[in-house]
């Protein structure tokens, strides 16, 4: 018996080592079960495999930490408690049923940390007696790649699983232990994140740099000159008597121009050189996100959604479903030999041998790159963007064109320029002119990287022809032009800039950037205006509190170091428990200090120079559920309050924000109104039924302000009617210098005795209208139904309420206890 068991085990090991694909004719005639993450990928792979394989999708993770508790035992080596994700019961039942009849199980989830972790949890769920479970890895969904992966299965990489688990536990510890602190001190429902907070910190600190920036004047002087042959050219003043020159104001500029008047302009040196501009490497994830944002204004989330579709497979004519690009989460620039050969063959045939380098172009990945799979590239170069355009949506085609052209260009010859630098002297002043003429376009025939700046490319990057010049040549001065300039503050972050900065500083991973950027907007920590991030008041308050009390944890360099430790875990140089112990030692101390000393923003009062218009006492800034507001320090004798106007600014910024296209089909979204208020819906309805609620920084274009004759009670300027996120409101035309907002009263005095306020229409965080006292928060009287300034005919209460239901229509009723007055309202 023991000998037979030994022989059986030896056969299994031999089969595993050889990677033989078991079909119906093999020792086990049962089908193999292949598990991938998404149904779309499953459909594509199913067509590549024969009847001996059953392909199922896990639809992402099947287990996770529990939602209602921490789920980590910090006292027992950070032991996690994983639970089945609600809603995944049917998926797991189907997978277990398929596993029971399978000859072997091939786990083929994505080739990254998340994919490896999914494999491990699936293995734990599906493992059974004598059940063979293997890990299958492929970087592209093509018949050859799938076949090769199936024939050479391996084992789950436990180090990669540990790295994913370490990241998940770190994020859970921060989120579940810091967020409740923010609920208590700032506002309920907000959150903190280990990487999210650092990204937000960058935005807040950049905004403060802009606010602190002081513009300085400076002048430039250019001379228009002409040599013995055309064309005329321009040279810029750069030095005086060998030192760099700075011209601070107009008087100095005039003095320099006067000193140059009448002097000779003579060529001192002419330097000619051939310069080469080399192609850039194929895309990594972050570079793809940046270039798509610059060229097409795609959000990071949109780019990754489109790339996922291209990777998982598209129906391409008679070819059927084809994975068009390699795996879209990669920070490697490595490309397989087969792909290089494919690109070189195409370049030689399509563009000519003069565009093809003598040998393949190789690119070095950055030091900390996870080089497990290739750069992002097309799976088949023969699938040109033009040839498959009919099978893609416009946005999919744009992204595929970007990936295809960058990859092909990466294997082409450099562009070649003749560059000339001329230095010209006059009365001790030195002028410089740069010229550049392209001799050979090289890779630029196919692709040119988009500029990282909002402005056009500098003159150094443009083709500017200079005339033939010689040393000692005397030039004719046509004119001297002084121009005034001003220094500019550092630019706000666009998505491309923020992704670039996060990558350069080693914060997070490109695969997490989409989630980070989405979260800081959904939490109302930032808004985007003209494509640039601005922190909200809430985002600034949260950042200040967290950075002050968790200086170690939310430090940029420390967060980058944590990413390095996760890489070390993946490489087997460090255990995940060691990483968590090192982190938690600092975090626990900071957490206890924050619990004891973090300021309670809800209770703080910030004195101002503004006087209360009712009693003359100073006003103070307080913090409420909807942000900051001004309140009289004479409370409770004087309960005067008013808004600071910051919320209206938020509405104004939001109204000018861009409306993102449908995340599922890419068609435009349109504004609609339903029973719960306004929302966005896809214009592709009924083919696409995507809807999206309106959030911060995400409102329809606003109407122009409407002037009124009413003066602002605060500064005397005229009030205007503005179009805000939740409808029109009246505010001072002198915004932002004056932030007065007129309460939208409805003619009903506040029912609370001795309050003296009026009821005004307000909006909840979700946009639902309610009616509260103008003396809030001193008076917290609230009604959800609209009060009508009519006396109740039965009990003589000063107002009645109006309500509309689907069953009864519109009716009015009395709010006083014991009064049964109720009558329908006839339609006008």
- For the purposes of burial, counting CB atoms within 10 Å of the CB of 17, is it exposed (0-12), middle (13-18) or buried (19 or more)? exposed
Helices then strands, counting H and E runs in the chain, come out as 18, 38
Whole-number Å distance between alpha carbons of 380 and 387: 12
Whole-number Å distance between alpha carbons of 733 and 645: 12
Whole-number Å distance between alpha carbons of 826 and 495: 53
Percent helix, strand and coil across the chain, each to the nearest 5: 35, 25, 40
* Token pair for 743: 């309460």
Closest among 472, 465, 459 to 425, alpha carbons compared: 472
Whole-number Å distance between alpha carbons of 741 and 807: 37
* Token pair for 822: 């109720």
Q: Is residue 327 annotated as part of the catalytic site, yes or no?
A: yes
Bond before 636 cis per omega within 30 degrees: yes
- Find the radius of gyration of the CA atoms of the chain: 34
Closest among 539, 273, 199 to 422, alpha carbons compared: 273
* Token pair for 780: 């917290």
Q: Are 661 and 641 in contact (CB under 8 A)?
A: no
Distances in Å between the Cα of 617 and the Cα atoms of 466, 637, 644, 714 are 71, 11, 17, 15
Residue with tokens 């120079």: 609
Helices (H), 230-297: 250-260, 285-296
CA 206 to chain centre: 16
Closest among 243, 299, 215 to 698, alpha carbons compared: 299
Query: Could you say which of 48, 134, 327, 493 is catalytic?
Result: 327
Q: Are 641 and 778 in contact (CB under 8 A)?
A: yes
Q: Who's near 23: CB < 8 A, 6+ residues apart?
A: 50, 52
Whole-number Å distance between alpha carbons of 539 and 526: 6
Q: Active-site residues: which are they?
A: 327
């Amino acid at each position: 018996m023991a000998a037979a068991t030994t022989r059986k085990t030896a056969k299994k090991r031999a089969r595993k080592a050889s990677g033989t694909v078991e079909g119906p004719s093999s020792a086990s005639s049962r089908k193999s079960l292949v598990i991938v993450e998404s149904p779309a990928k499953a459909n594509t792979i199913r067509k590549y495999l024969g009847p001996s394989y059953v392909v199922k999708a896990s639809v992402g993770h099947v287990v996770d930490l529990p939602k209602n508790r921490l789920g980590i035992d910090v006292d027992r080596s950070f032991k996690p408690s994983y639970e089945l994700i609600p809603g995944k019961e049917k998926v797991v039942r189907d997978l277990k049923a398929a596993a029971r009849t399978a000859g072997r199980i091939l786990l083929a989830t994505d080739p990254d940390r998340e994919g490896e972790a999914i494999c491990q949890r699936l293995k734990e769920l599906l493992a059974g007696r004598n059940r063979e479970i293997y890990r299958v890895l492929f970087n592209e969904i093509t018949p050859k790649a799938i076949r090769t992966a199936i024939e050479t299965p391996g084992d789950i990489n436990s180090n990669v699983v540990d790295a994913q688990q370490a990241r998940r536990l770190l994020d859970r510890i921060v989120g579940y232990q810091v967020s409740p602190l923010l609920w208590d001190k700032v506002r309920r429902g907000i959150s903190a994140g280990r990487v999210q907070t650092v990204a937000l910190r960058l935005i807040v600190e950049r905004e403060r740099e802009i606010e602190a920036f002081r513009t300085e004047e400076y002048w430039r002087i250019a001379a228009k000159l002409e040599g013995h042959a055309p064309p005329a050219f321009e040279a810029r003043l750069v030095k005086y008597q060998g030192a760099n020159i700075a011209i601070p104001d107009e008087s100095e500029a005039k003095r320099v121009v006067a000193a140059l008047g009448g002097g000779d302009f003579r060529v001192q040196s002419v330097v000619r050189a051939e310069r080469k501009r080399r192609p850039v490497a194929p895309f990594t994830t972050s570079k793809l996100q940046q270039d798509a944002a610059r060229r097409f204004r795609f959000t990071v989330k949109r780019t990754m959604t489109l790339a996922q579709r291209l990777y998982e497979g598209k129906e391409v004519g008679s070819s059927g479903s084809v994975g068009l690009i390699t795996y879209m989460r990669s920070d490697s620039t490595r490309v397989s030999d087969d792909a290089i050969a494919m690109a070189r063959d195409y370049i030689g045939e399509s563009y000519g041998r003069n565009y093809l380098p003598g040998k393949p172009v190789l690119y070095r990945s950055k030091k900390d790159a996870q080089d497990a799979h290739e750069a992002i590239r097309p799976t088949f170069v023969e699938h040109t963007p033009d040839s498959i355009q009919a099978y893609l949506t416009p946005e999919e085609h744009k992204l595929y064109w970007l990936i295809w052209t960058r990859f092909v260009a990466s294997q082409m010859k450099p562009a070649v320029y003749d560059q000339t630098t001329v230095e010209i002297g006059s009365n001790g002043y030195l002028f410089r002119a740069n010229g550049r003429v392209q001799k050979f376009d090289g890779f630029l025939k196919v692709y040119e990287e988009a500029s990282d700046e909002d402005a056009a490319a500098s003159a150094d990057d443009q083709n500017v022809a200079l005339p033939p010049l010689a040393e000692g040549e005397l030039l004719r001065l046509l004119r001297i032009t002084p121009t005034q300039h001003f220094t500019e503050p550092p630019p706000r972050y666009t998505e491309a800039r923020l992704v670039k900065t996060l990558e350069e500083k080693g914060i997070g991973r490109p695969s997490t950037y989409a989630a980070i950027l989405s979260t800081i907007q959904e939490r109302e920590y930032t808004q985007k205006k003209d494509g640039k991030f601005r922190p909200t008041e809430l985002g600034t308050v949260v950042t200040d509190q967290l950075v002050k009390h968790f200086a170690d944890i939310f430090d940029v360099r420390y967060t980058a170091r944590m990413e390095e430790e996760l890489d070390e875990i993946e490489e087997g140089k460090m255990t995940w428990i060691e990483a968590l112990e090192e982190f938690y030692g600092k975090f626990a101390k900071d957490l206890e200090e924050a619990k004891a000393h973090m300021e309670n923003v809800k209770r703080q009062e910030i004195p101002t120079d503004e006087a209360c218009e009712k009693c003359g006492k100073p006003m103070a800034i307080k913090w409420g559920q909807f942000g900051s507001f001004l309140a009289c320090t004479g409370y409770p004798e004087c309960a005067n309050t008013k808004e600071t106007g910051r919320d209206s600014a938020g509405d104004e910024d939001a109204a000018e924000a861009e409306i993102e296209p449908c995340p599922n089909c890419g068609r435009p979204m349109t504004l609609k109104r339903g029973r719960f208020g306004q929302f966005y819906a896809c214009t592709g309805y009924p083919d696409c039924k995507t809807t999206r609620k309106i959030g911060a920084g995400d409102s329809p274009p606003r109407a122009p302000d409407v002037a009124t004759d009413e003066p602002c009670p605060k500064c005397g300027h005229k009030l205007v009617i503005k179009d805000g996120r939740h409808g029109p409101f009246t505010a001072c035309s002198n915004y932002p210098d004056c932030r007065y907002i007129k309460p939208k009263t409805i003619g009903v005095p506040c029912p609370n005795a001795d309050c003296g306020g009026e009821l005004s229409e307000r909006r909840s965080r979700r946009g639902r209208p309610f009616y509260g006292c103008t003396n809030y928060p001193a008076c917290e009287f609230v009604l959800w139904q609209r009060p009508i300034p009519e006396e109740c005919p039965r009990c003589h209460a000063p107002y009645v309420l109006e309500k509309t239901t689907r069953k009864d229509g519109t009716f009015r009723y009395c709010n006083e206890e014991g009064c049964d007055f109720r009558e329908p309202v006839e339609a006008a």
